[in-house]
Amino acid sequence: MADDPHFETRAIHIGQAADEATGATIVPVYQTATFTQDAIGENRGYEYSRSGNPTRDALEAALASLEGGRFALAYGSGMAAIHGVMQLLSAGDHVVVCDDLYGGSYRLFTKVMPGFGVRFSFVDATRLDEIERAIEPATVMLWIESPTNPMLRMIDIAACGEIARRKQLKLVVDNTFATPYLQNPLELGAHVIVHSTTKYIGGHSDVIGGAIVVDDEATAAKLSFTRNATGGVPGPWDAWLTLRGAKTLALRMRAHEANAQQVAEFLRERPEVERVHYPGFPDHPGFELARRQMRGFGGMVTLDLAGGAPAAKRFAESTRYFSLAESLGGVESLIGYPWTMSHGAFEPEVKRSKGITEATVRLSVGIEHADDLCSDLTRALERAVSAR
C-alpha cells in the first residue's frame, strides 16, 4: 500500500486487514458480549464488548483515517456522540453555538444540559463578530455545523479555529452534512468532529450510529473513559454495517452531489418555488467559502414554496421517489418538513429567526437517476398548486 493512499483506498483497507484467525477478507462481526480470558488479568486485548470489540475497532480505525485524525470513537447514535462531546464539559461551563443547527442538538442543549449546570449561547456563526461578543470567561467550547441544518449556510471553520485558538476554546464541528469525503475540519483548526454515521457514512438507512474524531490523545482518553462509563456504544453488527457503508462513501457522495446540483437548478426555475438554498449556486452567500473549505457542495437542498404552508405540506406528501421521512444521507431520496420534523424542537419564533418557515422543505437527494427525481418533483409541485 502507498505511504499516503487516497480516500477511496483508505475507506476499504484501513483497519480492515484479513482476519488473522481465518483469513477472512472482510472484517468479521464479533457478535459477543464477553471474551474468554487466558488467566486472571490476562486477555487477548478484549474483555467485554462495551469496553472494546474488534469489529468496532475496525470501524474506528477507518473513520479516524477518513477524517485525518488519530482517534475515533463510535457511538450507538449520532445523539449519543453529541452527548459524548458534552461529557467533556463541567458544571459552570459555557458553550457558544451556531444558531442554525440540528433540532436534536438544540433539544439537548436547551432541555437537558442546563440541568447539569452547562449554559449555551446561540449566535449567527456566519458573523464572526457575533461569536466574539458571545464569548465570556466561562466559555470553553465553540460548536458549529457547516453547512448548517437545514438552511445550508456556510460557516468559516478556519476563522472559528483561529478564534478558538486565541480564546483557548475547543472547536467542535458537526460534519454530518459535508462528510469526511468533502470536508476535514481537523485540517482547518477544529479540535473535535462529530458525525451521525446513520446518515451519509452508513449511507443505506439501515443502521443508527454516531462517531467522534479527535487528534488529541488526552481528549480521546477522556471520551473513551466516559463512553465506557456511560455505555453509549454501538453493537458489533451496527459497527459492521456502518463500516460496510463507509467503503462506498466516495462513490455515493459524487452521485449525491451531481444529483443535488441538477435538482437545485431545476427547482430554481419552477414558479412554484420561492427560493432554493444550495451552496453550489455562485450567488449563494457562502459559495466562495464552500469552494475554499470543501471539495464539493453536498447532497442536501432546501427550498421555500411560494404557496406557503399549504403548498409545502401538499408538496412533501405528493412525491413518489422522495420518501417523506426523517433522516438524510441514504441512497434513496428523502423529503422532510423541518417545521414539525427535524426542527420541531425549536420554538416557532426561533425557527422563523433562522429562516425556517412553514413553507420550508428539506431534500436529501439520493443516487437515483436525476431525471426521474426532477420528474417526481414536477408532479409533486403541480399537485401542490392544483390543490389550492
Give the model's pLDDT for residue 385: 81
Q: Identify which has the larger pLDDT, 384 or 132.
A: 132
Give the model's pLDDT for residue 386: 75
Give the CATH fold of the 7-247 domain: Aspartate Aminotransferase; domain 2 (3.40.640)
Catalytically annotated residue among 93, 99, 100, 174: 174
Asked about 174 being catalytic, the answer comes back as yes
Q: Is the pTM of this model over 0.75?
A: yes
Give the model's pLDDT for residue 1: 43
**CATH number of 250-386, picked from 3.40.50.10420, 3.90.1200.10, 3.10.400.10, 3.90.1150.10:** 3.90.1150.10
Tens digits of residue pLDDT in 140-176: 999 999 999 999 999 999 999 999 999 999 999 999 9
Catalytically annotated residue among 46, 50, 247, 268: 50
Give the residue-averaged pLDDT of 218-229: 98
Give the model's pLDDT for residue 149: 96
Asked about 283 being catalytic, the answer comes back as no
The boundaries of every CATH 3.40.640.10 domain in the chain are: 7-247
Give the residue-averaged pLDDT of 367-384: 97
* Averaged confidence pLDDT in the chain: 97
Query: For residues 208 and 241, what is the distance between their CA atoms, to the nearest angstrom?
Result: 10
Q: pLDDT at residue 222 above 70? A: yes
Task: Kindly give the pairing relationship between strand 139-145 and strand 119-123.
Answer: unpaired
Query: For residues 160 and 132, what is the distance between their CA atoms, to the nearest angstrom?
Result: 10
Catalytically annotated residue among 56, 153, 199, 354: 199
Give the model's pLDDT for residue 274: 97
Catalytically annotated residue among 102, 181, 200, 337: 102
Asked about 206 being catalytic, the answer comes back as no
Task: Give me the residues paired with residue 42 across strands.
Answer: 39
Burial class (CB in 10 A: 0-12, 13-18, 19+), 108: middle
The boundaries of every CATH 3.90.1150.10 domain in the chain are: 250-386
Give the residue-averaged pLDDT of 293-298: 98
Give the residue-averaged pLDDT of 353-382: 97
Percent of the chain with pLDDT over 90: 97
3-state SS class at 267: helix
Give the model's pLDDT for residue 388: 56
End-to-end CA distance of the chain: 61
Q: pLDDT at residue 69 above 90? A: yes
The residue whose grid cell reads 477507518 is 62
Asked about 102 being catalytic, the answer comes back as yes
Give the model's pLDDT for residue 31: 97
